[in-house]
Structure 1
Amino acid sequence: MAKKDKYLVGLDIGSTKTCVLIAEVEGEAVKFLALGAAESKGLRKGLIVNLDSTVSSIRRAVEEAESVANVPVEEALVGVAGGHVRGVNSRGGIALGQRPRDIEREDVHRAVDAARNISLPEDREVLHVLPHEFIVDAQNGIRDAVGMVGQRLEVNVHLVTSSIAATQNLVTAANKAGILITDTVLEPLASAESCLTQDERDLGCCLLDIGGGTTELLVFGGGVVRHSSAVAIGGDHFTNDLAVGLRTPIPEAERLKRRHGCAASAFMQGNGAMFAHMLTDIIEPRAVELLSLIHDDLQRAGLDGQIPAGFVLAGGGARLHGLDELAEQSFHLPVRVAEPKGLADLPEQVAQPEYATVVGLVLCGAKTRRSAPQRTGNLVSKLKAMFAGAS
């Protein structure tokens, strides 16, 4: 294994913080080495609004991680999120000939390309193609069609699309910080890699990745992604509400939220001081609004009754006390706070919901590398990795 192939790096450029995680590949295992974090400056709701400030944040996080791991960061996988990301289900197919024949891997790629080929505005691109199932001569529910016999091959997929400019700005910022981006990954998809169990994916669950500017939704069912979207409320909205309501600076409002904040008065620990009740009175309406928007999104997608495994809360916003209990009360479904797993020697302080994405980015990189070591980052390797995750 080449020296640079011995390491994997995840880069999470969030609205609140920028994280860099360095891991070492040891056979089938991936070992945690170091985490670097810096306050994000230059982003709003997942979009870069000041390139130079974003580059500086990346450099600070990289320097911290490099100093601990004693490993230079040369390339990384970067997470993509924000209101510009959208998901849509699509179907495509190809004729295999007049007589039934064996289906080959190239046929699968052609069918997926047909499903991928949807009309998009010039400023948007396909970020992920996530297969649901293959259909061979009207027989559905097929996970891998290679080797089967038929005359027509179709595939249902979930397409994740993003703004070309928004994604390219992330890549440009990383490049200016001296990092080559090897792949771009939807952040909640990365978080799911580190947080969701296979049972949750199979039964049907919804991952809520609560970032600073937005909350990303990712719905699984039958082991595959069924729906992805975002709502325009994140942890920063709670902080801003406190800053306005208490007439206090943003840093102080953030400190108060973390130390005393609660999503609803019903879930305050003990009787609570009068000041804590005052904070909760400000926070609770926003928490209720967030959960209402999530419910409306799932209802529009026809999925509100298809997630019996409930919700998993990731991202820094998942740390708001009582939010999981309020969600459980609102949706009448199980709710838990994410605990990232999958890396050897992962410290307890990193196995927290706010690091779900950066841990997951490294795991996504490891999965893709194992699936197609010579073709990392291309459609073939991504497809193989997605099927491996759904099996």
Structure 2
Amino acid sequence: MPKEFIVAIELGSSKMTGIAGQKNLDGSISVLSIVEEDSTSCIRKGVVYNIEKTGQCLTSIMQKLKNNLKQDITHVYVGVGGQSIRSVKNVIVKDLPSATQVTQEMVNELMDANRNMSYPDLEILDAATQEYKLDNQFQLDPVGIQCTHLEGNFLNILWRKNFYRNLNTCFDNAGIAIAEMYLAPLALADSTLTDAEKRSGCVLIDLGADTTTVSVYYKNILRHLAVIPLGGSNITKDIASLQMEDSDAEKMKIKYASAFTENNEIDNTLSYSIDADRQIESRKFIEIVEGRVEEIIENAWFQVPNEYADKLLGGIILTGGGSNMPNIEKAFRSHTHIEKIRIAKFVTQAINSKDPKITEHDGKLNTILGLLAKGDMNCAGGELHDDLFTQSEQKPTTTADIHQKPRDLKETTGTGVVMTAAEKQKAEEEARKKKEEEEEIARVEAEKLEMEEAARRKENSILNKCWRHIKKLGKDMISEE
């Protein structure tokens, strides 16, 4: 009997990661396999820019996982993130007759109107409901309340359409079916933040290789999301400007770099070795590193809306590979003046694994583990055999097969679930058919009304009235005789 497991894939700027895990009855997750591929040649700033090479990396990831698991994989969970993801507030207004009671249908109309918003070259990945304004008061659930003015406040999460298309195309070309697409920052937040932090207000900052993702939460609701194109690789490039290879710069960063150093702690006589023949003064090295770190922090903090900057009782939570830099908390505390800072080295779920990549608890795998925790559909196929003749020939599952019936967007709104291209196409086809049916019904009704109106006009015409009068006169004369 084949064992059940869930497979998730994260397309990072420095590496592509695939993971397979099994959910246990006690709520823990046992990691069965984790594999990585270098993605620097095909993923830039967290998005696909070389479709062919990305497809090759995906194929390699899948093959490695299958070999480790000795089982086929029917579909996978995928994280969506990277450059150009941002949130935009939107307000939909509906005026009602006096003392009208709000119904679920009215709320659905606001949500549909928001989802149908058009943004040039941008795709709405998800829409988080912020709150509803009824006359002059705010409510999270307006159904059943009387008002004359209803406003829906939404946070639309957008991404460039070509990034969205490229991501879907890569999986289609590689023959990998997508069980679900999730917004990676939301999956990460659900696995690293506590309920108290989300409720009281906090900022989650994911310090990645090419990008830094900022998520602001308040009263358990996502209030702002932004991705800035700066990360740890920028620090490496700055160090490499001292005439050295990127690989050597990365080693120096890991060995010597500190996010914050007090001026009186800098030893002006100390030098760091670049190679056997060259050295650099420690002060100059520190200034290079701290200059870039300061830029990243200031850009990340700039993303926090002013209306929430003084409501962050949960503080700042740092995660990702960049959070491992020594004194990173001091650097953030110095520039943001937020005292409460926590480094999320690992996810909140109980993870069982002996793999050093996971047991190190360095925050680098928090996103992929968050995606794995989101999965609830068995991804296991048939067992693989060494003998090619015993392999059962099964038609591979496609994304379109999984999403034959598109889900109602109202059920997934604000959950971080992103519709796949196949599901979106199905939904658009159904919406088009529904619209055509409604137009046909309206046309038939219009024709019916037009015929009734013509008949009524004919009935009331002068000629018709005269004819009816003559007929009535004739009947009266006959009846009298």
Partner SS, residue 369 of structure 2: helix
Structure 2 partner of 1:20: 18
Q: Does 1:309 align with 2:314?
A: yes
Structure 1 partner of 2:452: none
Task: Go from structure 1 to structure 2 and tell me whether the alpha carbon gap of 1:175 and 1:224 turns closer, same or farther (over 3 Å shift).
Answer: same
- % same residue: 24
- CA distance, structure 2, for counterparts of residue 352 and residue 153 of structure 1: 47
Task: Go from structure 1 to structure 2 and tell me whether the alpha carbon gap of 1:285 and 1:125 turns closer, same or farther (over 3 Å shift).
Answer: same
**Structure 1 residue 255: Cα displacement:** 2.6
Task: Go from structure 1 to structure 2 and tell me whether the alpha carbon gap of 1:262 and 1:65 turns closer, same or farther (over 3 Å shift).
Answer: farther
Partner SS, residue 35 of structure 1: strand
Structure 2 partner of 1:248: 244
CA contact under 8 A between 1:191 and 1:357: conserved in structure 2?
yes
Task: Go from structure 1 to structure 2 and tell me whether the alpha carbon gap of 1:70 and 1:311 turns closer, same or farther (over 3 Å shift).
Answer: farther
Aligned residues: 375
- CA distance, structure 1, for counterparts of residue 414 and residue 43 of structure 2: 33
CA contact under 8 A between 1:90 and 1:159: conserved in structure 2?
yes
**Structure 1 residue 331: Cα displacement:** 1.5
CA contact under 8 A between 1:136 and 1:152: conserved in structure 2?
yes
Amino acid at match of 1:326: A
Q: Does 1:287 align with 2:284?
A: no
Q: Does 1:336 align with 2:342?
A: yes
Partner SS, residue 77 of structure 1: strand
What are the residue-to-residue correspondences of 1:344-355 with 2, within 5 Å?
344-345=351-352, 349-350=357-358, 351-355=361-365
Amino acid at match of 2:202: C
- CA RMSD of the aligned region, Å? 3.4
What are the residue-to-residue correspondences of 1:108-119 with 2, within 5 Å?
108-119=107-118
- CA distance, structure 1, for counterparts of residue 357 and residue 14 of structure 2: 18
Structure 1: unaligned runs, 5 residues or longer? 368-372
Amino acid at match of 1:355: L
Task: Go from structure 1 to structure 2 and tell me whether the alpha carbon gap of 1:386 and 1:242 turns closer, same or farther (over 3 Å shift).
Answer: closer
TM-score under structure 2 length normalisation: 0.69
Partner SS, residue 309 of structure 2: coil
CA contact under 8 A between 1:20 and 1:65: conserved in structure 2?
yes
Q: In the alignment, which of 197, 207, 210 is matched to residue 194 of structure 2?
A: 197
Structure 2: unaligned runs, 5 residues or longer? 274-281, 378-402, 418-481
Structure 1 partner of 2:253: 257
- CA distance, structure 1, for counterparts of residue 263 and residue 311 of structure 2: 27
**Structure 1 residue 220: Cα displacement:** 0.5
Task: Go from structure 1 to structure 2 and tell me whether the alpha carbon gap of 1:208 and 1:275 turns closer, same or farther (over 3 Å shift).
Answer: same
- CA distance, structure 1, for counterparts of residue 153 and residue 30 of structure 2: 36
Amino acid at match of 2:332: A
- CA distance, structure 2, for counterparts of residue 268 and residue 252 of structure 1: 28
Structure 1 partner of 2:411: 381
- CA distance, structure 2, for counterparts of residue 325 and residue 48 of structure 1: 34
- CA distance, structure 2, for counterparts of residue 44 and residue 60 of structure 1: 19
**Structure 1 residue 130: Cα displacement:** 1.0
Task: Go from structure 1 to structure 2 and tell me whether the alpha carbon gap of 1:42 and 1:114 turns closer, same or farther (over 3 Å shift).
Answer: same
Structure 2 partner of 1:326: 331
Partner SS, residue 413 of structure 2: helix
Task: Go from structure 1 to structure 2 and tell me whether the alpha carbon gap of 1:248 and 1:169 turns closer, same or farther (over 3 Å shift).
Answer: same
Task: Go from structure 1 to structure 2 and tell me whether the alpha carbon gap of 1:315 and 1:133 turns closer, same or farther (over 3 Å shift).
Answer: same
**Structure 1 residue 150: Cα displacement:** 6.0
Does 216-225 or 57-66 show the bigger shift? 57-66
CA contact under 8 A between 1:233 and 1:290: conserved in structure 2?
yes
Structure 2 partner of 1:359: 369
**Structure 1 residue 207: Cα displacement:** 0.9
Partner SS, residue 230 of structure 2: coil
TM-score under structure 1 length normalisation: 0.83
**Structure 1 residue 378: Cα displacement:** 4.9
- CA distance, structure 1, for counterparts of residue 163 and residue 45 of structure 2: 11
Q: In the alignment, which of 128, 131, 146 is matched to residue 130 of structure 1?
A: 128
Task: Go from structure 1 to structure 2 and tell me whether the alpha carbon gap of 1:19 and 1:376 turns closer, same or farther (over 3 Å shift).
Answer: farther
Task: Go from structure 1 to structure 2 and tell me whether the alpha carbon gap of 1:72 and 1:138 turns closer, same or farther (over 3 Å shift).
Answer: farther
- CA distance, structure 1, for counterparts of residue 407 and residue 77 of structure 2: 10
**Structure 1 residue 169: Cα displacement:** 1.1
- CA distance, structure 1, for counterparts of residue 136 and residue 13 of structure 2: 46
Instruction: Note the alpha carbon deviations across 1:333-380, whole angstroms, 9 max, x for none.
Output: 22222221225425674243111211122233449xxxxx99886523
Q: In the alignment, which of 156, 160, 172 is matched to residue 153 of structure 2?
A: 156
Partner SS, residue 313 of structure 1: strand
Q: Does 1:86 align with 2:96?
A: no
Which structure's CA Rg is the greater one?
Answer: 2
